[in-house]
Structure 1
Amino acid sequence: MTTAHPDHADHHRDPDHPRDHGHHKHPPTERHCDVAVIGGSAAGLAAALQLARQRRSVVVVDDGTPRNAPAAHMHGYLGHEGVAPGDLVAAGREEVRSHGGEVLPGRATGVHRRDDGRFVVALTGGHTLVARRVLVATGLTDDLPAIDGVAEQWGRGVVHCPFCHGFEVRDQRLVQIVTSPLGLHPTPLFRHLTDRLTVVLHDPTGVDEAAVDTLAAAGVTIERTPVARVLTGADDAVSGVELSDGRVLDADAVVAGSRFQARVDTIAGLGITATPHASGAGDVLAVDPRGETAVPGVYAAGNVTDPSLQVLPSAAQGSQAGAMIAFSLADEDLRDAARRSGEETDWDHRYGGEGRAWSGNPNGTLVREVADLEPGRALDVGTGEGADALWLAERGWQVTATDISGNALARVRAEADRRGLAVELVRSDANDPEPFGNGTFDLVSLQYGAFKRTPDQRGLRNLFDAVAPGGTLLVVHHDLAPLQEPVDVAAQTRTFDPAAFVGVDEIAAALSDDPGTWDVEVHETRTRPPGAATTHHVDDVVLRARRAG
């Protein structure tokens, strides 16, 4: 596992800030969560938002290949008409992350089920996600007609859906290329949108001739000569359709249908296969009314289940599936009389192995910043194996150390007992109602910590409230600039999403918004001190503030 600190492992700490580029190799990481969502477009993100708002740990893995990637705008989405698909995805990601859900750039390569019923999602880079439930929102692949120019103009000058693009091509010269019996299904809609419609029966096999006659009687021009290619002008816009006999039909836009294939290869190891769609034009992943597949615990939403869904109904189906998964998890926990935390499980796994996770050295920046402070009461948030807490205790501080992981705290207790040190240990989440008790502390230390975000900033308020009048808040975090670089999802999956956690910049902004209470003494980027267990993190961001006394 790639570490973020020489010892500290805040229960919300960024465990894995890899540089997913160049020649750097990353040891495989195993993450645990309540729900793994494969595919991060409208359906997957909508499901993730529902689940995050139900306090479920959810991780979305997205390889950035949505079905509507060629489209510049989406239509028919109430409140978002004409918005670029990428803008909707960006907004959706932010909403998921603002509730602590993670969205990872990467690719799922397979899923299998363990003997304990949990699912293991294999990721590029050799990483894995272990989840109680899986949602498949991988979409479809469109198999386009083998006609020159169709693929190049798909989603622009070549359209297929009257509801997605029809209004934009109204009153234009449309040429519809029919390649299957289903091809005539949208034709009456396009005929209503323009009176300059020509239908070319490129492959008339199985076409309903009575329907063709009805269209012709209603004034639609019918051509029975196959298409050679779609033509474009100097501006790369569609200009016409060339037939196999050399004739050219002038056109401002082309209508063409596709066959489709559900993207289900990732879950083939579970024995799940696609089933033929009723239209005969492709296959889909069958689900029940709750969105569950034939394998209990595996759900699906979006175009992978229904090729006709636009973005709005895809999101709605994802939201519904997310709700059903939440019910499923809640019912299971109720039967077991448990209130399970996926995040706690994740961190307990990290500290469940043999051997030390981190170096055992106190953080060099803490040592430097605290050296001149008079010992008093100290709070170490996300103590991990406790090197910082123990170092403070050795220097006369009365230390309370918190972490979400019972396994981590057990390690701290063992080492404290070995050294004969008194450290109060508290198992808590920074977002709990009172994670640090009712008292306040002269020093609150958050070393490489990143607790989950919430819209009401509960964890941030808890952190601030723990600092006594005249006390010091010390936050040290990795410089996240390397994580802004793109990742080759075919080779690597990032296993941590810093945008789902409260970072040092958000803390600094909140402090600056209250200058009457806080004096920010230090906020700068520094070279990381020596002594860490790993060396791939080069720079740290250091924030020190004093509360007015």
Structure 2
Amino acid sequence: MHHDVIVIGGSYAGMAATLQLVRARRSVLVIDAGERRNRFASHSHGFLGQDGVPPGEIAANARRQLEAYPTLSWLEGRAEAVTGQVDEFTVTTSDGLSHQGRRILVATGVADQLPAVEGLAERWGKAVFHCPYCHGYELGQGRIGVVATGPMSVHQAELLTDWGDVTLLVNGAVELSQEARSTLERRAVTIEEAPIGRIEGTADVVTADGRLLRFAGLFTATRTSPSSSLAEAIGCVLEETPMGVQVRTDSENKTSVTGIFACGDVARAPHSVSLAVGSGAMAGAQVHRSLLWPETIAPVQTEGGSR
């Protein structure tokens, strides 16, 4: 079957885009590897109408709604390669099968590079978070620790002061200028210089010198990169942002490859479920417009591309 659009990635952004397309009666194939970025979190917050709902439940309900549309096809698997050109793309999946489509929408999301701190990865999404708007309220204005990863951690520590008493755990990851120290002091942020030995309990930090610092929760500014190398392999230009690497897109969600679009965390920062859904909804509409008016499909300019 030759699809109008093949959406690679069936999480929030990919499904939001798909909804716009199937409601326009376009044939859409979604290829999903089943690795939602927030799969480690027990509840999703900050998403209007779904506040406090488990993320897996949100995703499952969204898929059920999409499956009511007859032009949807859903494949559980991994896209391994994309070849061809606009109107004649071929996507090869991990089962060795090939699928044809006129447009490609990359919604693969990103992977988080976590600080190498003992006990942190096991608590990711449970007591260690990246977004205060998603998880700050539930900490009840308790003590919050920020595990530094770089300059963005200073901004994160400042931001979090509306959610509790904040300690910036420098952990040798950032060199604080006098200006940064003064800014943190004005926001009543405690600066802890001692390296982190490990994290234990719910969110308790044991410093290298043996002290126990108890927190209601921890935050860290992860560095992100596309969760799949597929977009880069296709030829899409990537770009550096303060949060990591993402696919370069323009205001119409077009990448540097004609006929290939991208949306969600893989193409936009900052990241949250709400923002991913909004990005996906816009991308779906833009992909549909490109099918109606193919003369508008010129790709994003690549001058100054970082990759």
TM-score for the superposition, normalised by structure 1: 0.52
Q: Is the 8 A contact 2:232 2:238 kept in 1?
A: no
User: 271, 282, 301: which one pairs with 1:309?
Assistant: 271
Q: Is the 8 A contact 1:264 1:285 kept in 2?
A: no
Report what 2:149 is aligned to.
179
Report what 2:169 is aligned to.
200
Determine whether 1:212 maps to 2:184: no
Determine whether 1:93 maps to 2:63: yes
Report what 1:50 is aligned to.
20
Where do 4+ consecutive residues of structure 1 move more than 6 Å?
none
Determine whether 1:270 maps to 2:234: yes
Report what 1:255 is aligned to.
219
Deviation, structure 1 residue 204: 4.7
Matches of residues 60-79 of structure 1 in structure 2 within 5 Å? 60-79=30-49
Report what 1:106 is aligned to.
77
Report what 1:41 is aligned to.
11
Deviation, structure 1 residue 43: 0.6
Report what 2:161 is aligned to.
191
Q: 1-side partners of 2:163 and 2:42: how far apart?
A: 21
Matches of residues 257-406 of structure 1 in structure 2 within 5 Å? 257-277=221-241, 279=242, 281-332=243-294
Gaps of 5+ in 1: 1-30, 334-549
Q: 1-side partners of 2:276 and 2:255: how far apart?
A: 17
AA matched with 1:106: G
Query: Structure 2 vs 1, CA of residues 60 and 208 (structure 1 numbering), >3 Å: closer, same or farther?
Result: farther
AA matched with 1:152: E
Deviation, structure 1 residue 217: 4.2
Deviation, structure 1 residue 269: 3.5
**What CA deviation, in whole Å up to 9, does each residue of 1:121-175 have, x standing for no partner?**
1101111110000000000010000001110000111112111101011321222
Deviation, structure 1 residue 220: 2.5
Query: Structure 2 vs 1, CA of residues 307 and 208 (structure 1 numbering), >3 Å: closer, same or farther?
Result: farther
Q: 2-side partners of 1:255 and 1:329: how far apart?
A: 42
Report what 2:133 is aligned to.
163
Q: Is the 8 A contact 1:262 1:284 kept in 2?
A: yes
Matches of residues 409-448 of structure 1 in structure 2 within 5 Å? none
Give the stretch that moved more between structures: 200-209 or 91-100. Answer: 200-209
Deviation, structure 1 residue 104: 1.6
AA matched with 1:107: R
AA matched with 1:244: A
Report what 2:109 is aligned to.
139
User: 42, 53, 64: which one pairs with 1:83?
Assistant: 53
Equivalent position SS for 1:268: helix
Q: Is the 8 A contact 1:35 1:135 kept in 2?
A: yes
Q: 2-side partners of 1:275 and 1:219: how far apart?
A: 35
Query: Structure 2 vs 1, CA of residues 53 and 218 (structure 1 numbering), >3 Å: closer, same or farther?
Result: closer
Q: Is the 8 A contact 2:231 2:247 kept in 1?
A: no
Equivalent position SS for 1:185: helix
Deviation, structure 1 residue 218: 4.1
Q: 1-side partners of 2:145 and 2:97: how far apart?
A: 48
Structure with max Cα Rg: 1
Q: Is the 8 A contact 2:4 2:102 kept in 1?
A: yes
Identical aligned residues as a percent:
36
Report what 2:301 is aligned to.
none
Equivalent position SS for 1:111: strand
Gaps of 5+ in 2: 296-307
Query: Structure 2 vs 1, CA of residues 204 and 63 (structure 1 numbering), >3 Å: closer, same or farther?
Result: closer
Q: Is the 8 A contact 2:16 2:281 kept in 1?
A: yes
Deviation, structure 1 residue 309: 2.5
Deviation, structure 1 residue 203: 2.3
CA RMSD after TM alignment: 1.7
